């Protein structure tokens, strides 16, 4: 499904990702943990193709396609979904209008007919319900005036509608209370169907109690320095990132 080989990437000429390797097979859930500044969010931006994030070396393929050759929207249509840590507000563009364009772009890619307004509305309503977003959020501007938790739920709602093959969740737990966390996690779990893969980027182990990972990787200084199963996350929770060396402990403090 996703294969990252020796990825090097920089932002404003500063190297952030320095030789990262990762293989994600269909249906797997990979958690990426790491201290602040390790390059966790950068990874999501690089994979999605954001401007200003330059790949200097390495290969990334998604479902056998060379991802790095594609534009942002083409990657999305190949099934890559990035749930943002801080989703941007777009006043004036309604959530509904936005998702309709988006869903139909995906359908066109798959050679399917565009949804009629009624069909779309039905699906959108279901998705809203699933993440407990009131229906009037569909009419509002994209993320406009949403609370932190509402924005996160809106991201998951989009994920449900777009049916991607690979979901990257960037700190989807940050700033959420336990109830909201539960809603987000339920939304994600409902999408685990044995084929869809997830990369869950998080600073804390907490989210992983709700979204059980198959693998846990520790990202530090732009590389994966340690991999293991779910127990690794608990280790980190208890011991912190001390094993990475003194510099990181200080950075964390």
Partner 1 sequence: MSQWLDQVIGGAQFDDYLAPVRQQALTQLKADGWPARRNESWRFTPLTSVEKREAKTTTQADVLPVPAIDNLNAIDLVFVDGVLITQVNTLDVPKGMTITSLKHDDKATQQAISSIYGQIKPTRHMFGLVNDALCEHGIFISVDENTKIDTPVRIVNMATQNVDAHTRVVVKVAKGASATVIEQGVGDVDSLTTAFAEYDIADDAHLEHYRFAMFTAAAKQLGGSHFKLHNRSTLNSTMVGYGSELSRLDVDIHHAGEFADAKMNAIYLLAEGELFDLHSTIEHAMPNGTTEENARGIVGDKSRAVFNGRIHIHRDAQKTLAELNNRNLLLSRRGVINTKPELEIYADDVKCAHGATVAEIDEEALYYLLTRGVPRSKALVMLNFGFIQELVNDVPNSAIREWLQPLLSKRFSQMEVK
* Site of interaction with partner 1 (CB under 8 A): 48, 50-51, 71-73, 75-77, 81-82, 84, 87-88, 90-94, 97-99, 101-102, 105-106, 109, 141-142, 158, 162
Q: Which residues contact 144 (CB under 8 A, 6 or more apart)?
A: 89, 90, 91
Task: Compare residues 105 and 224 and give the one whose CB is closer to partner 1.
Answer: 105
Task: Compare residues 91 and 134 and give the one whose CB is closer to partner 1.
Answer: 91
Question: To the nearest whole angstrom, how small is the minimum distance from the Cβ of residue 108 to partner 1?
Answer: 9
Q: How far apart are CA 27 and CA 21, in angstroms?
A: 19
Question: To the nearest whole angstrom, how small is the minimum distance from the Cβ of residue 239 to partner 1?
Answer: 35
Question: To the nearest whole angstrom, how small is the minimum distance from the Cβ of residue 50 to partner 1?
Answer: 6
Question: To the nearest whole angstrom, how small is the minimum distance from the Cβ of residue 44 to partner 1?
Answer: 9
Q: How far apart are CA 153 and CA 181, in angstroms?
A: 9
Task: Compare residues 35 and 44 and give the one whose CB is closer to partner 1.
Answer: 44
Q: How far apart are CA 119 and CA 25, in angstroms?
A: 32
For 191-211, letters b (16+ CB in 10 Å) and e give bbeeebbbbbbbbebebbebb
Of 4, 181, 189, nearest to 80 (Cα)? Answer: 4
Task: Compare residues 99 and 181 and give the one whose CB is closer to partner 1.
Answer: 99
């Amino acid at each position: 499904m996703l294969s990252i080989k020796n990825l090097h990437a920089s932002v404003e000429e500063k190297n952030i990702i320095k030789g990262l390797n990762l293989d994600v097979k269909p249906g797997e859930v990979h958690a990426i943990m790491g201290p602040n500044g390790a390059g966790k969010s950068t990874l999501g931006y690089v994979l999605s193709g954001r401007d200003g994030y330059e790949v200097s070396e390495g290969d990334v393929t998604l479902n056998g396609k060379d991802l790095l050759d594609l534009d942002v929207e083409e990657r999305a249509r190949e099934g890559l979904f990035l749930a943002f840590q801080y989703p941007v507000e777009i006043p004036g563009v309604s959530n509904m209008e936005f998702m309709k364009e988006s869903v139909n772009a995906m359908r066109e890619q798959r050679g399917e007919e565009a949804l009629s307004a009624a069909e779309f509305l039905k699906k959108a309503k279901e998705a809203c319900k699933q993440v407990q977003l009131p229906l009037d959020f569909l009419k509002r501007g994209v993320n406009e005036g949403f609370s932190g938790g509402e924005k996160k739920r809106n991201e998951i709602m989009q994920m449900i509608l777009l049916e991607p093959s690979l979901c990257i969740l960037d700190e989807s737990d940050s700033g959420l209370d336990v109830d909201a966390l539960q809603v987000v996690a339920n939304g994600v779990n409902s999408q685990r169907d044995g084929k869809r893969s997830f990369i869950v980027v998080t600073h804390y182990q907490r989210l992983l109690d709700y979204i059980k990972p198959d693998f846990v990787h520790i990202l530090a200084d732009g590389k994966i320095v340690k991999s293991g199963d779910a127990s690794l996350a608990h280790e980190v929770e208890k011991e912190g990132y001390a094993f990475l060396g003194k510099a990181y402990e200080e950075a964390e403090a």
